[in-house]
A and B are shown apart, each in its own frame.
Chain A
Amino acid sequence: MIRDAAGRLGFAPSLVVALLAAALVALVSITSGAYPLALGDILSVIIGREASDPVASMVLLEVRMPRFLLGFLVGAVLAVSGALLQGLFRNPLADPGLIGVSAGASLAAIAVIVLGNTWLGGWLAMTGEWALPIAAFLGGSCTVLLAWRIANRSGQTAVATLLLAGIAINAVAGAATGLLTFYANDEELRSLTFWTMGSLGHAGWDDLLVGAPFMLLALLAAPWLARPLDAFLLGESVVGHLGYRTDTVKKAAILVVGLGVGAAVAVSGLIGFVGLVVPHLVRQLLGASHRVVLPLSALVGGTLLVAADSLARVVVAPAELPIGLMMALIGGPFFLALLLRTKVI
Chain B
Amino acid sequence: MISRLLVWLLLAAAFGSSAQAGDSPRVVTADGAITEIVYRLGLESLLVGVDTTSGYPEQTESLPKIGYLRALPFEGVLALKPDLLITSEQAAPAENLERLARAGVQVEKLPSARTPEAALERIVTVGGLLGEAEKAEVLASELRSKINRIQQASATRGNPPTVLFILAAGNHSVMLAGEGTSASALLDAVGAVNAVSGIQGYKPANREAILASRPDAIVIAESTPGQFEIGSWPEVERLDAWQSGHRLVADGMLLLGFGPRLPDAMAAVNEVLPAPSNVAANDS
Contact = CB atoms under 8 A, between A and B. Distances in A.
Interface in B226-259: none
B64 interface: yes
Given A55-B104, A194-B71, A317-B76, A202 B65 contact: no
Contacts of B79: 33-36, 317-318
A319 B201 contact: no
A202 B180 CA distance: 29
Given A34-B75, A35-B75, A201-B96, A318 B103 contact: no
Contacts, number: 82
A129 interface: no
Nearest to B80: A318
A79 B104 CA distance: 39
Nearest to B95: A202
Contact of A191 (B49, B70, B74, B200): B70
Secondary structure of the A contact surface, majority rule = loop
Given A202-B93, A318-B64, A63 B99 contact: yes
B67 interface: yes
A223 interface: no
A317 B99 CA distance: 18
B206 to A, nearest CB: 13
A303 interface: no
Interface string A312-333: 0100111110100000000000
Contacts of A63: 74-75, 99
A62 interface: yes
B202 interface: yes
Contact of A62 (B52, B99, B202, B203): B99
Given A58-B102, A185-B201, A199 B71 contact: yes
Nearest to B93: A202
Which 7 A-B pairs rank lowest in CB-CB distance, beginning with the nearest? Answer: A318-B76, A319-B67, A34-B75, A202-B93, A34-B79, A34-B76, A320-B73
7 contacts: A34-B79, A35-B78, A182-B203, A185-B201, A201-B93, A204-B95, A319-B73
Interface of B: 49, 52, 64-68, 70-71, 73-80, 90, 92-93, 95-96, 99, 102-104, 180, 200-203
